[in-house]
């Protein structure tokens, strides 16, 4: 499993009045970590979307398990990896870790979406290209 990491210091703006991370921020961090994963393999979205002629990699489901709270000024590591991307839907997993303990687990379901003018929504899911899958999953 190819894992991508990023460090983050929790700031006051990430927290509620009790200085505990406000839960929607975890989903924002997951989204950023996914984009960062693509960046780290040389596929920045601003270049990748036109290169592959895609509409994006939209989120179709997101879940989180909150195991322990995180607070202002905590130093955390966000681990991200592609758990599976078979067919049109991929599962991206995230662990938020402080002091070698997982505090939050997250899952995103995403699709590789192409423009589809004939579709009611203007996009449709298609298979992730093999070269992209290889970059994200192979050591």
Confidence of residue 139 (pLDDT cuts 50, 70, 90): confident
Cβ neighbour number for residue 127 with a 10 Å cutoff: 13
Domain ranges of the chain: 4-137
Distance CA 63, CA 47 (A): 28
Instruction: Please tell me the pTM assigned to this model.
Output: 0.94
User: In this structure, which CATH number among 3.10.129.10, 3.30.70.890, 3.30.70.60, 1.10.600.10 belongs to the domain 4-137?
Assistant: 3.10.129.10
pLDDT at 122: 87
- Checking if the pLDDT of 121 tops 90, the result is no
Identify the band that residue 50 occupies on the pLDDT scale cut at 50, 70 and 90.
Answer: very high
Q: From 135, 83, 138, 91, select the one nearest 112 (Cα to Cα).
A: 91
Q: How many angstroms separate the CA atoms of 90 and 55, rounded? A: 16
């Amino acid at each position: 499993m190819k894992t991508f990491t990023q460090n983050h210091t929790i700031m006051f703006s990430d927290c509620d009045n009790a200085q505990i991370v406000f839960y929607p921020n975890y989903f924002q961090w997951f989204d950023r970590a996914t984009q960062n994963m693509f960046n780290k393999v040389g596929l920045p979205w601003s270049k990748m979307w036109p290169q592959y002629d895609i509409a994006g990699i939209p989120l179709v489901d997101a879940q989180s398990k909150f195991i322990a709270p995180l607070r202002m000024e905590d130093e955390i590591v966000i681990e991200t990896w592609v758990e599976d991307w078979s067919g049109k839907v991929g599962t991206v997993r995230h662990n938020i870790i402080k002091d070698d303990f997982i505090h939050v687990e997250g899952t995103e379901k995403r699709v590789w979406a192409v423009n589809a003018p004939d579709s009611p929504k203007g996009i449709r899911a298609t298979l992730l290209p093999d070269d992209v899958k290889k970059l994200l999953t192979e050591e």
